[in-house]
């Protein structure tokens, strides 16, 4: 009992040390860039007005944080991104699974979806504004469309990459269609689905920026646009860093989910 507990504790400590080591290794390049950036700004090698230093940007960030303005804009942006991703992602998961499982559904739906996937989002943004106006609906739908395609493609590929021999085994064991999906298809397709989830989340944030820059009176995109109009470059950088930080946070959460759900995968780690 004691030996088993010691082994578990040792594994936990090793995982914690590995996570800390990865964090510090990953922080080397950003820290070096920030240090050089601050040095260049302080010595006016670059224009502080057009390219303010990290300390100046941090002061703008602190002012926005204390005033509550940043929290208000961030709250509405997270709401838009989450709702758009929920609609687009859930639709992609269901349709991707159906198209992957049934060849007739693939013949009917996949050609149209693949054609629509090649249309740039910026090209259809004016149509969304024309049809739905500048309100929340157009923004959420634009994010939904952007989040749909990466998860759809990866879900479809994940289902189609399931070994056909496993379906033969399932038929021998007399699995129902529901049991085939839950016990066979979903576990086998999970790596692709999680990859699609990461790509869809990234696309949702990208579409959020486009939606808020095109027309909004609240949100981080609006904050950036408003700051640009008044040459508040530091605030523009604050908005960019907020998008980067929240995007990285959501990506890290999905990667953590990957490590938990794909423990069985004996893949190359580098």
| Whole-number CA gyration radius for the chain | 23
pLDDT tens, 73-99? 999 999 999 999 999 999 999 999 999
Tokens for 172?
Answer: 């021998």
Model pLDDT, residue 28: 87
Tokens for 261?
Answer: 């759900």
Closest CA to 93 of 150, 172, 13: 150
pLDDT tens, 130-173? 888 888 888 999 999 999 999 999 999 999 888 878 777 777 77
Question: How far is it, in rounded angstroms, from Cα 243 to Cα 229?
Answer: 19
Closest CA to 201 of 82, 71, 80: 82
Q: What is the pTM of this model?
A: 0.81
Length of the chain: 270
């Amino acid at each position: 009992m004691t030996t088993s507990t010691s082994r578990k504790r040792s594994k936990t400590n090793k995982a914690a040390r590995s996570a800390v080591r990865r964090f510090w290794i990953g922080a080397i390049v950003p820290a070096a860039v920030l240090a050089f950036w601050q040095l260049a700004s302080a010595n006016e090698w670059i224009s502080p007005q057009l390219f303010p230093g990290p300390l100046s940007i941090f002061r703008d960030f602190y002012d926005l944080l204390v005033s509550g303005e940043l929290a208000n804009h961030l709250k509405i942006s997270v709401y838009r991104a989450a709702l758009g991703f929920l609609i687009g992602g859930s639709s992609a998961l269901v349709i991707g699974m159906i198209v992957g499982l049934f060849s007739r559904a693939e013949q009917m739906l996949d050609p149209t979806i693949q054609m629509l996937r090649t249309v740039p989002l910026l090209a259809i943004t004016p149509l969304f504004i024309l049809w739905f106006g500048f309100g929340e609906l157009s923004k959420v739908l634009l994010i939904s469309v952007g989040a749909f395609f990466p998860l759809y493609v990866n879900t479809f590929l994940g289902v189609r990459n399931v070994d056909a021999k496993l379906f033969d085994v399932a038929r021998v064991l007399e699995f129902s269609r529901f049991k085939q999906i839950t016990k066979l298809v979903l576990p086998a397709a999970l790596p692709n689905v999680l990859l699609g989830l990461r790509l869809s989340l990234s696309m949702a944030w990208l579409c959020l920026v486009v939606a808020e820059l095109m027309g909004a009176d609240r949100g981080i995109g609006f904050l950036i646009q408003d700051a640009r109009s008044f040459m508040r470059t530091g605030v523009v950088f604050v908005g960019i860093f907020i998008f980067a930080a929240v995007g990285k946070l959501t990506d890290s959460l999905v990667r953590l989910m990957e490590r938990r759900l794909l423990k069985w995968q004996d893949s190359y780690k580098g």
